[in-house]
């Protein structure tokens, strides 16, 4: 399916219309950003790795009964996805304390969070993605209470499935961010965006080493090297 008009150009992806009204062509880019865009670099090979890892994970989730916008991987950097109406929320699930959570609550780095904590952030660069609760989401009409319950249910299920997947390759799923949309035909809540080392924190089960974007955020190693290891280990599961 050929790509047509460019619909959106973001930090890590470009979205194109295809000849089919409800199907989009996604191109993963080599750009890395952190600190809400303040830190920015071109990292050759990043788009390829994130597309391939996301495609693997969305296929795995589908096999486990979790639908998403993902249709198919087209090439190393491209995929086809269903067009959805994106809900402007970042849904974060935390199994272990780190990142902004430690900054905010001053708890010990790596503390196991029982039960896992779910947080919602309003996707809004101008406002710096403020944290929201369910009342905010409802009152600002971003989603209905029923949709919020569905998002929470899917996020908890995805956490269980991804914890299991990553533990099979020696990694602890520390935390991750999801985005959801509405299916344009049925209105159903559908997992969207990507799931990759850009959007998850993954720690080696034995050494605690980061295999995710923290390597770039904190300048503690080579991003491509660690993303490649995640990809190679996932491929060995096939
Ligand atoms: O920075 P923070 O600790 O809140 O991040 C929690 C999780 O959400 C991390 O896995 C991070 O990679 C992900 N995240 C993201 N996109 C953002 C903010 C956080 O993928 N804009």
Residue predicted with more confidence, 101 or 37: 101
pLDDT range class, residue 2, cuts 50, 70, 90? confident
Phi and psi of 121, rounded to 5°?
-125, 140
DSSP state of 11: S
User: Which atom of ligand 1 is the closest one to the Cα of 102?
Assistant: 3
**Same domain assignment for residues 93 and 190:** yes
The H-assigned helical ranges of 64-177 are 99-105, 134-139, 145-167
pTM (two decimals): 0.97
Query: CB of 217 closer than 6 A to ligand 1?
Result: no
pLDDT range class, residue 5, cuts 50, 70, 90? very high
**Same domain assignment for residues 51 and 101:** no
Cα 51 to Cα 53: distance, rounded to the nearest angstrom:
6
Q: Which two tokens stand for residue 50?
A: 């994130």
Sequence-distant (6+) residues with CB within 8 A of 4 are 16, 17, 18, 19
What integer best gives the mean pLDDT of the chain?
97
Q: How many domains does the chain have?
A: 2
Average pLDDT over residues 178-199: 98
User: Which atom of ligand 1 is the closest one to the Cα of 198?
Assistant: 12
Q: Which helix (H) or strand (E) holds 49?
A: helix 46-63
Residue 132 CA, ligand 1 centroid: distance in Å? 15
* ipTM, 2 dp: 0.98
Q: Which two tokens stand for residue 189?
A: 């809540």
CATH value at residue 103: 3.30.470.20
- Residue 96: inside a domain, yes or no? yes
Confidence (pLDDT) at 37: 81
Confidence (pLDDT) at 127: 96
Confidence (pLDDT) at 40: 95
- Residue 236: inside a domain, yes or no? no
pLDDT range class, residue 236, cuts 50, 70, 90? very high
pLDDT range class, residue 238, cuts 50, 70, 90? confident
Residue 24 CA, ligand 1 centroid: distance in Å? 25
Check if the beta carbon of residue 36 is closer than 8 Å to that of residue 128: yes
Q: What percent of the chain has pLDDT over 70?
A: 100
Query: CB of 99 closer than 6 A to ligand 1?
Result: yes
Confidence (pLDDT) at 206: 97
Where among 50, 68, 83 does a domain terminate?
Answer: 83
- Residue 201: inside a domain, yes or no? yes
User: Which atom of ligand 1 is the closest one to the Cα of 100?
Assistant: 3
Q: What is the pLDDT of residues 41-75, one digit of tens each?
A: 999 999 999 999 999 999 999 999 999 999 999 99
- Residue 238: inside a domain, yes or no? no
- Residue 165: inside a domain, yes or no? yes
Query: CB of 50 closer than 6 A to ligand 1?
Result: no
Confidence (pLDDT) at 86: 97
Average pLDDT over residues 143-169: 98
Phi and psi of 106, rounded to 5°?
55, 35
**Same domain assignment for residues 76 and 122:** no
Where among 83, 102, 134 does a domain terminate?
Answer: 83
Q: With a cut of 90, say whether residue 172 has pLDDT above it.
A: yes
Check if the beta carbon of residue 67 is closer than 8 Å to that of residue 86: no
**Same domain assignment for residues 121 and 202:** yes
CATH value at residue 67: 3.30.200.20
Where do we find the tokens 């788009």?
47
- Parent domain of 205: 85-221
**Same domain assignment for residues 92 and 183:** yes
How far, CA to CA in Å, does 226 sit from each of 41, 51, 57, 195? 17, 15, 17, 16
């Amino acid at each position: 399916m050929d790509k047509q008009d460019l619909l959106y150009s973001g930090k890590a992806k470009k979205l194109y219309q295809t000849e089919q009204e409800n199907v989009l062509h996604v191109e993963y880019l080599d750009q890395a950003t952190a600190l809400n865009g303040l830190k920015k670099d071109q990292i050759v090979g990043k788009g390829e790795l994130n597309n391939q890892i996301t495609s693997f994970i969305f296929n795995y989730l589908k096999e486990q009964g979790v639908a998403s916008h993902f249709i198919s991987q087209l090439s190393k950097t491209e995929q086809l996805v269903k067009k959805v109406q994106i809900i402007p929320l970042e849904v974060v699930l935390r199994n272990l304390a780190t990142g902004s959570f430690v900054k905010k609550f001053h708890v010990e780095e790596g503390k196991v969070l029982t039960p896992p904590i779910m947080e919602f952030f309003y996707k809004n660069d101008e406002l710096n993605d403020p944290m929201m609760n369910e009342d905010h989401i409802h009152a600002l009409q971003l989603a209905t209470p029923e949709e919020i319950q569905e998002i929470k249910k899917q996020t908890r299920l995805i956490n269980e499935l991804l914890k299991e997947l990553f533990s099979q390759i020696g990694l602890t799923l520390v935390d991750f961010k999801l985005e959801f949309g509405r299916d344009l035909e049925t209105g159903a809540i559908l997992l969207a965006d990507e799931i990759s080392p850009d959007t998850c924190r993954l720690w080696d089960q034995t050494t605690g080493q980061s295999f995710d974007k923290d390597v770039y955020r904190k300048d503690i190693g080579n991003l491509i090297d660690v993303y490649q290891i995640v990809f190679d280990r996932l491929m060995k599961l096939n």
